[in-house]
Each structure stands twice: as structure tokens, then as C-alpha cells.
Chain A
Amino acid sequence: MHGRGRNEASKPEETAAKALELRSLQSQFMSNHHQKIYTQEAIQLSAKLLGINPDAYTAWNYRKLALVSRINDDSDPSLVNSIIDEELGVVKKALDRNPKSYEAWYHRNWVLSKKGRYYTSLENELQLLNDYQKQQLVNDYQKQDDRKHDNLRNFHAWNYRRFVVELTETSAEDELQYTNMINDICFSIYSVWHYRSVLVSSLVAKKADGFMPKETIRRELDYVHNAIFTDEVKQSGWFYYLWLLDQTVKMETPLRFSSWPSDGSIITTFCSEFGSFPLILYFDQAVSGVSSSTVTIDSELNGKEDLVWEPVSDNKNSQVDSCVWVARLKFDSREPCFSRKEYKVKVSLGGIFSSRGCNLTAPYEFVFTVLNTVGESSQQGIVSWTDGFDNWDDAQSKYLNSLIALNADTGFE
């Protein structure tokens, strides 16, 4: 469907003969498939069909059914290995015909994920892939010189590579070395730069040795400069460069945060004798390491108990990064220390980092006041944490009312 010249017509008799042969193969195959015939002859017929037409997806399904019918968990390992070899051979022939066949690549993936741990030649798989990707195409129809690296541009091969890397537990560091090797061959393969960005991001996120954010970005900036100066017309290096610059900007930006209660605010507790209210920290980047050792509370309210900080996210694991962290500050008016009306709470933060490596540039603290008015009515000018907007003063209420009026006029919801 792609890249065929308009006037490249073959002789009609040849195509008619080819069409008849294929039609006959297809009918025989369908008959075997529907009758669930998995003899050697039938299986070989499906291989012949796939060699001519690698995209005939039903034939790949048939081969999977045939494999499952021939081997199970108790099968002899040498039988399993020979069947895997056979399947991989069929895939190879199909890929020679159409290197972009989704079905062929998936069949290889399926066979190895089903039976890969029995396969004695699994470690060869990565080497086979390396050879395939580095192979330079010298066919006559490759009219342009840079098309000789088309195997490196085959995204199916890169997707399959990620599968094999996971199956063989190859390290991200080793794969990064591989991208170095490929870039030495040709600097303008976008797939390689994309893969590099994924590997670098994951190594930085895992805080791997030698991959601290700032040093990594600086090293990569030097590396990509080579690519850009070698061939400035090609886009691939430039996209990677743009991504690195974006990371640099993000890293230099100081971490910012806000809190509830905010600095200088007054909280009224008047509903119960004891209870708790939330202390919320909001950061402009996802951070980890928020705990009672990085966030200290200086107040008579809290007593000796350490606060438990939890990230607000789907993942309840406290190691996860989150922009929002919450702890509960308890109070008990029955405690002797709670006899006074007013308590100051000082919260100090330090040593908190975002996943990009940004941190609070200096220890930071904020102070708020807790008013104990058990049994008394609320006062003016105080934000009540129990009742929402009811206790706003006149000026604040007028503002809110004017906003509501504006909404009514314009009909916004």
C-alpha cells in the first residue's frame, strides 16, 4: 500500500496465477482452521500462507491454537524449544516480507511471553534484535541514502525491544549505552532519542548512581550538542534538546508551596471539646519526604505525638510523590494545657525535594492561631473551619454577593 510506483504493473498472467495460488492456500487454510486440524501438514500450510501474506491475522491465531494444542506445562523441554524455534522462524520469514506487520511482531511477543522461560536461546533474542536494527538496507529500491537505516526507524522493533529488555531484565544503563552506539551510526533516528529520553527519565526518577537530575541534564546537553552540530538540519536531536531545556527550566525553578491554615490566619474551634482539624501543605510540584522529621510543629496543642503525614493521591503508599500532603492536628479541651483561649502553632519545613530535584530554598515556617471558644458564639472577621462562608464579615459577604449577582446576569453556571 505504500511506496509502490504507479506504473509498476506486473504482467497480468503472473498476477492472475499468484492470485489463484493465494486464493487456494487461503481456502485450504480456512478449512483446517474451522475444523481445528493441527497436523504437521496443516501447520506448514499456514506457514506458507503467512510467508506470502504476513498480515493474514487469522492464520497467526491458528498457529497460536496449534501451539497450545501441542504443548502444555508438562511437555518435554526439547519439544517446547523446537516448537518455539519453529514459530520464531515463521515470524522471521513474515517480517522479511513485511517488517511492519503488527501481527507478526505480536506473535513473536506472544510465543516468548507464553513460553519464554523455557527457551534456551532467550539471551540471543536481544542480540538478534541488535543485528536487525543495525542492519543497513542496500536493496535497489532504497533510492535515498538515509533510508538505509529504516530498520532503526521501525517502531515495531523498538516496542519489541522494550518487551525483550523486560523479559531478560536488561538494565536501563546498558540500554543507554546501546543508544550511544546507535547514535554513532546515525544521529537522526527519532526513535533512539525518544528511547533515550525514556531511559534518562527513569534513571533520574529511580535516583540511580550517577543520575542525579542536575548532573544528568548537563551531561545530556553536552551530548546532544554533538548531534546538533553534526547534522543541524535533522529534527530528532532538536526535539531532545528542547526537552532537556524544558527540564532545566523546571529544575531551576524554586519549589513553592502554600498551606491551610495559611500564615497569619486564625482558626476557631467551637464545636466540640475535642477533635482534630487538617493541616494541609500544597506544593507546586509533586514531592516526597514529607514527614514529622521534615515538618516540625511547635505548639502546646500537639503534645508529644508525632504527626502522620499522608499524600493525597490514588496511591496510599507514603513513599509516593504528591503535590498535596495532609496531617491531622488534634486538640482536646479537657487536657490541662488546653485551658487557655488562644494558641499559636508554628510549622517549620525543611529538607523536602521534588522528583525534579527542586527543593525549598531555605527552611520555611508559617504561624497560625487556634482560638478555643467552646460554648461561645463566633466573632467577626474570623474564618470558621466548621461552617464555611457563614461567618464572613460584611465586606467579604458583599463581595461574594456581587459575584453571585454577576453569575446570574451572565447566565454562567
Chain B
Amino acid sequence: MSSTSSSQMVQLVADKHVRYILMAEKKKESFESVVMDHLRMNGAYWGLTTLDLLDKLGCVSEEEVISWLMTCQHESGGFAGNTGHDPHILYTLSAVQILALFDKINILDIGKVSSYVAKLQNEDGSFSGDMWGEIDTRFSYIAICCLSILKCLDKINVEKAVKYIVSCKNLDGGFGCTPGAESHAGQIFCCVGALAITGSLHHVDKDSLGWWLCERQLKAGGLNGRPEKLADVCYSWWVLSSLIMIDRVHWIDKAKLVKFILDCQDLDNGGISDRPEDAVDIFHTYFGVAGLSLLEYPGVKVIDPAYALPVDVVNRIIFTK
């Protein structure tokens, strides 16, 4: 990405996004916020990771975040989306990732959390989201990513987990949520990420998948998640990180994608939306900034495509006991 810019080229308004995230945290009683109450743990992960990518994690009170986070832990070891809600693997990963950002994984009873996740593995290698049994390759990725961060991958049957993921591979080279389900960029990210973390990328047909993924780029430069759908900033993450993990990112036009993401910013109030002129939210703000990180946009820290955490955080995890 060249550093020369014409007066017409939009830039990343990082400070506005930081302010947007910090303000959103305070607007807890808006309708939009109340409706998302149950997934506050995910929202916190999206907001905090974005802040860290923009090197502004210090703007939040670590103590406040962590003390709230711990109220979300269930006696089973799993974490809920918010205080009082039921535990689920989705929020357990976000909780672990947030603690990783603050370098505070050590406050966890790692045995308890990892057992909660490991017990969700089924006989065929798949993972359920919680005790109610929904199966989806999203949960395979979450379990593998979470246990890898906690250094407890040996608590699950990795071989069977990989076998199940491979059984979800489709004839177009992509992956779905269960065997037979159609390819979708989000599921592809989850499956490719899980295979990357377990050293099993040789199962991926990189050329077929790479082609299916690069075909997600539309004329305006944005990416969609499946054929015939509209472009959406969140696919700048799901598609892009997948392409990077299979060494095919040069198959898309990076400059055009950068322009699409920048055009989705609310230049006045901060935040990024799914597509230009739509309402902004934390979810798309995170994926827009994360996408720009993968595209090596200046001023944004490098993010790991498999762990979805800044690389310095991942290095800290890998290189300490």
C-alpha cells in the first residue's frame, strides 16, 4: 500500500474509531446495545482488539474489563456472553482472547476452562457449542484456537477433530458448517484457521479454494461471502485471512479492497459499516481494521490471520511457558 495519497483518497480516521468504540461502551442503555446484551463478550473482544491494533488498548480500564469478564464465568468453567447468561464456547474463546490481549491468562484456572472446552468434543471429532448439542465447524475452530492459546490441545483428539473438518470440505474446495453444507467464507475461515493451527493445511485444495475465495471480490473492490451476494466489510477478514493462510492473497486486488474498507468509514462519527453509507457497528469496525492490518495499512499493528489476535500477543503466548 503506497504512502502517497491524493487529496481525494480517504484515509483511516483511527482516532475517530477509537472514540466511537469508547463511546459505544458507555451507551449501554440504547436499544441496539440492549439487544446485543447477550453477546457483550464478543463485542468486548471486537472493540478491545481494534483498540490494540490501533495501539490504544491503554485507553480502557483493564481492571474494570477483567472484573466484569470474570463475572461471566460459569461453574462449569465456560464463559457466558454477559453476566447471568448461560455459558457457550463462543464466549469462552472471546474471554480467553481478551485476557490474552491484557497478558492476564494466568488469572484463569486453565484446567477448568480447558476441560469445559474439551468436553464439548463429540465422538466423530466435531464440537458442540454448549450442552445443547448444536454442531458447527465454527465450534471446531473455537475449541482448537482456545485450547491452543491455553496450551492444552492435547486434551482433545486432534486427529478426529481434523478428520471432521475435512469431512466438511466441499466439491468447490470450500468448507461448510457441517458435512454437506455449502461453502461460506466465514466457515472457510474457521476450517482453514483450525487446520492451520493444527498443522493440517495439506488437506486444503489451495488452488481450488484460492480461486473460489478470490472470486468473492466484486467490481467496487469489496468482498462477498458467497457467489451472488453483496460485498460486506466483514468478509475483508474472513476471505482475506483464509487467502493469507493458503498463500493466495496475491490473487485479489489489494488496493481496491483497501479503498472499499476506507469508504465504509463514518468519517464524522467514527466506526465502520458493512458497506458504504450503512449504519456503523463494533463488529464491522473490528473487521474493517483487521482487514486493513492484513493489507499492511500503515499505522495498524500486524494481526495473526489464524488466531485473530495481534502478532505480538500471539508471540507472547507462544514464547512464554
Tell me the chain A residues, 221-270 only, with Cβ under 8 Å from chain B: 234-236, 239, 243
A contact residues, total (Cβ < 8 Å): 48
Q: Which of A117-125, A155-163, A282-290 contacts B (4 or more CB under 8 A)?
A: A155-163
Asked if A333 CB lies within 8 Å of chain B CBs, one says no
Chain B residue with the shortest CB-CB distance to A23: B34
Q: Is A6 an interface residue (CB 8 A)?
A: yes
Closest to B269 in A: A6
Q: Which residues of B contact A2 (CB under 8 A)?
A: 232, 274, 278
Instruction: Say what secondary structure dominates the interface of chain B.
Output: loop
B274 with A3: CB separation less than 8 A: yes
Could you tell me the distance between the alpha carbons of A198 and B177 in the complex, rounded to whole angstroms?
Answer: 15
In the complex, whether A38 has a CB less than 8 A from a CB of chain B is no
Cα distance A2–B181 in the bound complex, in angstroms: 23
Q: Are B30 and A19 in contact (CB under 8 A)?
A: yes
A25 to chain B: closest CB distance in Å?
10
Instruction: Say whether A26 faces chain B, with CB atoms less than 8 Å apart.
Output: yes
Pick from A6, A56, A159, A194: contact of B280, CB below 8 A: A6
Residues on B with C-beta less than 8 A from A159 are 177-178, 181
Q: Does A389 contact B (CB under 8 A)?
A: no
Query: Are B228 and A194 in touch, CB under 8 angstroms?
Result: no
Contact B228 A19 (CB under 8 A): no
Q: Is the CB of A15 within 8 A of B30?
A: yes
Residues of chain A contacted by B279 (CB below 8 angstroms) = 4-6, 8
Kindly state whether residue B55 has any CB partner on chain A within 8 Å: no
Given A4-B279, A26-B34, A239-B182 contact (CB < 8 Å):
no
CB of A61 closer than 8 Å to a CB of B: yes
Partner of A194, one of B37, B132, B183, B284: B183
- Which residue of A is nearest B279, CB measured? A4
Give the chain A neighbours of B130 by CB distance below 8 A.
61
From known contacts A155-B184, A243-B171, infer whether A22 and B34 are also in contact, taking CB-CB under 8 Å: yes
Complex CA gap A60/B39 in Å reads 14
List B contacts of A16 (CB < 8 A).
29, 31
Is B298 an interface residue, CB under 8 A from the partner?
A: no
Chain B residues 173-204 with CB under 8 Å of chain A are 176-178, 180-184
Using a CB–CB distance below 8 Å, which chain B residues touch chain A?
29-31, 33-35, 37-39, 80-81, 84-86, 88, 130, 132-134, 136, 170-172, 176-178, 180-184, 212, 215, 226-229, 232, 266, 273-274, 277-281, 283-284
Beyond contacts A1-B281, A2-B274, A110-B132: 9 other A-B pairs, Cβ-Cβ < 8 A, are: A6-B273, A19-B34, A34-B84, A57-B38, A61-B130, A190-B228, A234-B227, A235-B228, A243-B172
18 A–B contacts, CB within 8 A, in A order: A2-B232, A3-B278, A5-B277, A5-B278, A19-B29, A19-B33, A57-B81, A58-B80, A61-B86, A61-B130, A61-B132, A158-B182, A162-B180, A190-B228, A198-B170, A201-B171, A235-B227, A243-B171
Using a CB–CB distance below 8 Å, which chain A residues touch chain B?
Answer: 1-6, 8, 15-16, 18-19, 22-23, 26, 30, 34, 52-53, 55-58, 61, 64, 102, 106, 109-110, 146, 153, 155, 158-159, 162, 188-191, 194-195, 197-198, 201, 234-236, 239, 243
